Structure 1
Amino acid sequence: MSVGRASTSLLRAFQTQQRPVSRRIAQWLPKQSSPSSTARPALRRPFSNTPSRPQGRQAADDPNFVSIIDNPPEIVRTGRKHGPGLIILAIIPITAFILGTWQVKRLAWKTDLIAKCEDRIVRPPLPLPPRVDPDAIPDFEYRRVYATGRFRHDQEMLVGPRMREGEQGYMVVTPLEREGGDETKVLVNRGWVAKDKADQRKRPEGLPQGEVTVEGLIRKPWKKNFFTPDNRPDKWEFYFPDVEQMAKLTGSQPVWIEQTMEPDYFQLMEYLEKGVPVSRPAEVNLRNNHVQYIVTWYGLSLATSIMFYLVVRKPPSDIARRVRMNKHW
């Protein structure tokens, strides 16, 4: 009798311990809707935005339909197409090569001209004739000549400003009157004076009186550049030497003589202190930069030719290779 009661007590205790576990499991299980509630269909995300074709006749039912698989392969161009930039890139090396070849010819011309001028400058000086033909001056450029006459300081002209060793000044141009009057006058570039010596009253020793003999070179003066202002002969202001204009103003021949002197340091210092115009030595000072121009133009032609070759012969990308292989389908 005692054994039966013990078994009944154990069974009740086991059922009591299982009730909380079943309650915990029920909390985690989804609640089932009641049969009376209305079931809503689940929303489905469309796989494609393409509208579904109506049920019925399909494209393949058309006897004229051709599938893309049956079409012959077509080679397409991939990447960026060459535009007007390629044409410009092709013109640049050709133009640079032409300019370089032109500079080669200019170098030969300038070398020959310098050789002729150096040959003229080493010859003994010639007496300047009373009348000089202006058309013959280019054939006698850098030819040493000498002339005797009297300086017309009342017709002196200052050309400038001109720089010399970092100091500002002017070129002194004075007509030289020879025997025969105004018909024999020529323009003489006596040299450079400092700006503070521009006034004739400050350089009386630089105004020789009486008859003098001038030795110099027959030259064509320098030309004005884009930034040089125009001369004002009515006010005796000259920014560049215009031989025709100066000759007309002073009644001289359109002949330009550059007075020369031997380079002597102590004499140069004395001239600068007294305001005597400092003339140039007898030497050829023609610039010859054509070799640099040749290297520049030919180098540009070579560089742009290489660039053009790399652009045209650029290997195709992997996409282009795959597209080209389609022709064997």
Structure 2
Amino acid sequence: MTRYLAPLLFGLIGAGILVGLGLWQMQRLSWKEGVLAEIEDRIGGDARPLPVMVDPEAQRYQPVALEGEILPGALRVLVSRKQIGAGYLIVSPFRTEDGRLVLLDRGFTRDENKDAARRSGPAEVLGNLHWPDDRTSSTPENDVAGNIWFARDIGAMAEALGTEPLLVVARRVTPGDPAIEPMPVDTSGIPNDHLQYAITWFSLAVVWLIMTAYYIVRQRKTGET
């Protein structure tokens, strides 16, 4: 019996570690779901005026209501949507009633509409402040001359359109542009893979125990022959 003690302990300890990792991922899942719920509550909260002092951390996703004018000019950010394909986010300058100039992400337009005339003029906007993190190490440099942007680089866009480095992502624009579909901020782009990780660790624990049992049974049969 003692000859099986070492592999049995090895199997139980290994499985225990794997189960512990799975339980830790379940705790992370609960924490992440709480964070996402808090963000969703913030996104759908009461709209406020544009902040005078900008604090990206405290004001991220803050709902805002704007009245003013969409000015001529539009930057195109290349994106892709499932079941639709390539298209562009349209970012235009917006002048508020009190004279502030900000960036307005009006939403998505299909590739065939990329050169269409954009509606400008008086508008009411309901949206959210956002500081997107679109750029990764593999993101190409923006083709400013060709008006093809690969990320919503707020600083560079503000310089190109002569606005404050402040982006409002529209949830609704009234009156709207029929060729542009608002793409409001939400939590769908925030990864939450902790459940898959937990399942992986628990599955590995089961496999570990099966392999341990198989090894012990095999050793026992070998010892009997």
TM-aligned CA distance change 1:170 to 1:255, over 3 Å: same
Please list every run of 5 or more consecutive structure 2 residues that lacks an aligned counterpart in the other structure. 1-6
TM-aligned CA distance change 1:254 to 1:297, over 3 Å: farther
Tell me if 1:280 matches 2:183. Answer: yes
Match of 2:50 in 1: 128
TM-aligned CA distance change 1:249 to 1:300, over 3 Å: farther
Task: Report the number of matched residues.
Answer: 215
Q: Which has the larger radius of gyration?
A: 1
User: How far did residue 153 of structure 1 move?
Assistant: 2.7
Match of 2:149 in 1: 238
User: How far did residue 177 of structure 1 move?
Assistant: 2.9
Confirm or deny: 8 A CA contact 1:145 1:216 kept in the other structure.
yes
% of aligned pairs identical?
26
Which of residues 26, 34, 38 is equivalent to 1:116?
38
Write the distance in 1 (CA, Å) between the matches of 2:12 and 2:147: 53
Match of 2:89 in 1: 171
Confirm or deny: 8 A CA contact 2:63 2:126 kept in the other structure.
yes
Match of 1:254 in 2: 165
SS at match of 2:120: coil
Q: TM-score, normalised by structure 1?
A: 0.53
Matches within 5 A, 1:70-109: 96-97=18-19, 99-109=21-31
Q: TM-score, normalised by structure 2?
A: 0.73
Which of residues 215, 218, 221 is equivalent to 1:314?
218
Please list every run of 5 or more consecutive structure 1 residues that lacks an aligned counterpart in the other structure. 1-81, 323-329
User: How far did residue 146 of structure 1 move?
Assistant: 1.0
Tell me if 1:145 matches 2:145. Answer: no
Match of 1:67 in 2: none
Confirm or deny: 8 A CA contact 1:175 1:250 kept in the other structure.
yes
RMSD after superposition: 3.7
TM-aligned CA distance change 1:107 to 1:173, over 3 Å: same
Confirm or deny: 8 A CA contact 1:261 1:282 kept in the other structure.
no
Flag the structure with higher helix content: 1
Write the distance in 1 (CA, Å) between the matches of 2:31 and 2:204: 23
Matches within 5 A, 1:154-233: 154=73, 156-163=74-81, 165-178=83-96, 184-199=100-115, 202-203=116-117, 206-209=118-121, 211-224=122-135, 228-233=139-144
Confirm or deny: 8 A CA contact 2:71 2:120 kept in the other structure.
no
Confirm or deny: 8 A CA contact 1:121 1:282 kept in the other structure.
yes
